[in-house]
Amino acid sequence: MFRRALAISCLLFAAGGTLAEVGEPVTVRDPHYGDVLFHFYKGDYFESLVRLTAAQEKSRVDNHAEEAELLKGGLALSYGLHEEAGEIFDALLASTTKPEIRDRTWFFMAKIRYQRGYLDEAGQALAAIGGELPKELEPERRLLHAQILIQQERFDEAIALLDGWKGPKGWSDYARYNLGVALVRGGRFADGAALLERVGRLSDDRDEMLGLKDKANVALGFTWLKNEQPERARPILQRVRLNGPFSTKALLGVGWADSDKGDYRSALTPWTELQARNVLDAAVQESLLAVPYALGKLNATRQAAAEYESAILTFSREQQRLEAAIADIDSGRMLERLLDAPEQSDASGWYWQLNALPDSTEGRYLYLLMASHQFQEGLKNYRDTLALRENLQNWKSSIVVFESILETRAEGYATRLPQIEQSLEAADIGEIRERHAAMQARLNDIESRRDVIALANRNERRAAEELALVKQNPVLQYSTPEIEDARNRIRLMEGVLRWSADRDFPARVWRQRKALQDIGRVIVAAERARFAVDDARINEPAALNEFDARIRNLEPRINEKLIALEQSLDRQRGYLHGLAKQELRQQYERLDTYTVQARFALAAVYDRATAASNANGASEDTQ
C-alpha cells in the first residue's frame, strides 16, 4: 500500500493533479502538453512518455518546462528507471527556482534513494524540503520518514514521529504495525507489543484494515509464544478471523498455546480444523504433524500412528505434484499463462499488478511468491519489456507504409509541380499587381474629388447620361416660359440624382476599398504560392531524399533494439523462473523435512507400542 501510494502521488503531482482532483481542470498553455496529459490521465503512460519526449525535443512544451520534466521523471520512476529519473530530478534541483517544484522534486529524490537503500541520503533529501507539501503528499512524506527511521533502528524518533499523528485513514496504522514488528525484532519487546496491541484492536471494519488487524494479532500472538507466555498468546490469536488470510497461522498458534500449557485435548480442536484446509499452506502441513503429536501425548497410540502414516502419504503426493510443477515451469509456459489471464488490467508501470492466478499446475503452489513485491516487480518489468517489443514490431511493420507514403508524395510532387508552374506562369502576377495599384490610385482620386457619379450604380449612370443628352438639345437655348420650366425640371432631376449618389458615396468607397483589399490578399497568396513552388522545386527533392534515408535507417535500428529486448526478455524470464523454482524447491524441502519428522515420530510410536506390548506380555508371564 505504501509503495503504491507513493508511486501514484509521484505521477499525479508531476502531472499537476492530485488523488482527490483527478479530472479537475489543469491550465494548459502549450497544446502539446495538453496532448501529453490527455494520454497520461487516460492511463496510457507509455504513449504519454513518448509524446512528452518528442515534444521536448521539438521545444513544444516550453511554457510547462519544469512541470513536464517532473512528469517525465515520475513516468521514468514508474517504469523502474531509477537512474534516468534521478538524473532528471538532479537537473531540476539545479535549475528550478520555484519552491513548490523544488520541494516535490526533493520528495521524489528521497523516494529514489530509499528504494536504492541509501537511507542517510534519503533522510537528507526529506530534510531539504523547505515547506509544506500539498496536503495529499504530506502524510506520505511522514510515512517515508518513519520507514527510514525504522530501518536505521532509530525507534524512539520513529515513535515520536508517529505518536498522536492523525494521518489519512489507515496510513498511520500501517506505519505503527511496521514499527511494532521492528521494535520486537530489535529486542524492545514491551514497546513493540504495545504498538501491535494498538493495531490489533482497531475499530476500522474495512477489509484492508481487518487484514492488518489479523496480521498484527498473529505477529503479537507468536511473539508471546516465543516468550513462553501461551496464556497471553491464546486470546490475542483468537481475535483473528476464521476466514481471513491469516486464519491458518492463527489456528496453528492457538493449538500450540494449548499444547504449551499441557492441554493437548484442547489443542486438537484448532489443529483438526486446520487439517481440513488447503494442504499447500505451511500451517496446514504443520498441523498434519501436530495432530498425531497431541494424540501421542494423550496415549492414543493407534490413532497417532494412523495420522502420521496419512501425513507421510499426503507429503509424498504433494512432492510429486511439485516435481510436475517444476517441470511445467521449465517448459516456459508459466509467464505466458500469467499475462494472458483475462482478469489482468491493461495499465503499465507502477499501476499494474497481477490480479489473479492462472489455473495451472504451478499456480496453486506459487500464490505466496506471486503476491511478493520481488516477483510482482519482476513480472512488471517482463510485461513492460514485452510491450516494448510489440511496439517495435508494430513500428517495423509500419516501415512499408512509410515507404508507400513517401513514394506517393514523390509521385504527387512530380505530377503536380508542372501543372502548378503552368498555372502560375499563365497568370502575370506582376501585371495584375500594377492594375491593382492603378485601381487604388483612381479610387483615391475619386474620393479626394468626391466624384460621386464615378461610383454611381448602373441606373444612376444611365440617368446621368440621359440628362446630359437632354441638356444638349438646342431647343433649351430659347427663352420661353415652357422651356424655362423644362430647364428647372432638368436641374431638379440632376440635384436628386447627385443627392442620392452623394448619400451612398461613403458606403460605396468602403465597398470598393474592401474589394481591393480582398484582391490584394489574393495577389499576396498567389505570390506566396509562387515562392512555395520555387522553394519546393529546390528543397522538396532534398527533403524526400532525407526522409528516404531516415526510413531506410529505421529497420536496422529497430532490429538492433529487438535483439537487445529479446536478450533482456530471456534474462528476465530466467530470473522469474528461477524465483518460482526456488520457491517450489523450498516447499519440496519443507515437505521432505516434515516427512523425515513424521517417519521418526511414527517409528517412536511403534517403539512405544512394542515396548508397551512387551511389558504387558512379561507381566502376563509373571502372573
**Sequence-distant (≥ 6) Cβ neighbours of residue 609 within 8 angstroms:** 301, 305
CB distance 295 to 609 below 8 Å:
no
| DSSP secondary structure letters along 184-216 | HHTT-HHHHHHHHHHHHT----SHHHHHHHHHH
Number of Cβ within a 10 Å radius of residue 274: 26
Gap between the Cα atoms of 409 and 540, Å rounded: 10
* DSSP H or E segment with residue 555: helix 481-622
Gap between the Cα atoms of 128 and 106, Å rounded: 7
Each residue of 57-99: pLDDT tens digit? 989 998 888 888 888 888 887 777 777 888 888 888 888 778 8
- Looking at residue 618, what is its pLDDT? 52
What torsion do the CA atoms of 236, 242, 245, 246 make, to the nearest 10 degrees? 30
CA-wise closest residue to 176 among 150, 208, 206? 150
CA-wise closest residue to 314 among 339, 291, 348? 291
Number of Cβ within a 10 Å radius of residue 480: 9
- Looking at residue 157, what is its pLDDT? 87
Each residue of 253-267: pLDDT tens digit? 999 999 999 999 999
pLDDT at residue 41 greater than cutoff 80? yes
Report, as an integer, the average pLDDT of 513-528: 88
Residue 147 grid coordinates: 520507514
pTM of the model: 0.63
Least confident window among 31-45, 351-365, 497-511 = 351-365
Each residue of 214-237: pLDDT tens digit? 999 999 999 999 989 999 999 999
Q: Which long-range contacts (CB under 8 A, 24 or more apart) does 543-548 make?
A: 544/406, 544/409, 544/410, 544/413, 547/406, 548/406
Residue 613 grid coordinates: 506390548
Tell me the backbone φ, ψ of residue 132, rounded to 5 degrees. Answer: -75, 135
Report, as an integer, the average pLDDT of 325-330: 84
Q: Identify the DSSP state of 281.
A: S
Each residue of 353-369: pLDDT tens digit? 455 555 555 666 776 67
What residue type is 183 in one-letter code?
Answer: L
Report for 9-18, 32-41, 172-181: range of highest mean pLDDT = 32-41
Residue 104 grid coordinates: 516535490
Gap between the Cα atoms of 595 and 220, Å rounded: 30
- Looking at residue 217, what is its pLDDT? 94
Report, as an integer, the average pLDDT of 275-295: 91
Number of Cβ within a 10 Å radius of residue 526: 16
Each residue of 400-423: pLDDT tens digit? 888 888 888 888 888 887 877 777
pLDDT at residue 15 greater than cutoff 60? no
- Looking at residue 427, what is its pLDDT? 67
**Sequence-distant (≥ 6) Cβ neighbours of residue 6 within 8 angstroms:** 111, 140, 144
Gap between the Cα atoms of 385 and 370, Å rounded: 19
| DSSP secondary structure letters along 11-39 | HHHHTT--TTTTTS----SSHHHHHHHHH
Handedness of CA 298, 301, 303, 309 (dihedral sign): positive
- Looking at residue 356, what is its pLDDT? 54
Report, as an integer, the average pLDDT of 94-121: 83
Higher pLDDT, 453 or 11: 453
In the chain, helix, strand, coil percent, each to 5?
Answer: 80, 0, 20
CB distance 227 to 204 below 8 Å:
no
CB distance 337 to 297 below 8 Å:
no
pLDDT at residue 274 greater than cutoff 80? yes
Report, as an integer, the average pLDDT of 466-492: 82
Average pLDDT over the chain, rounded to whole?
82
Alpha helices in 63-187 (DSSP H): 65-78, 82-95, 99-116, 119-127, 138-151, 155-162, 171-185
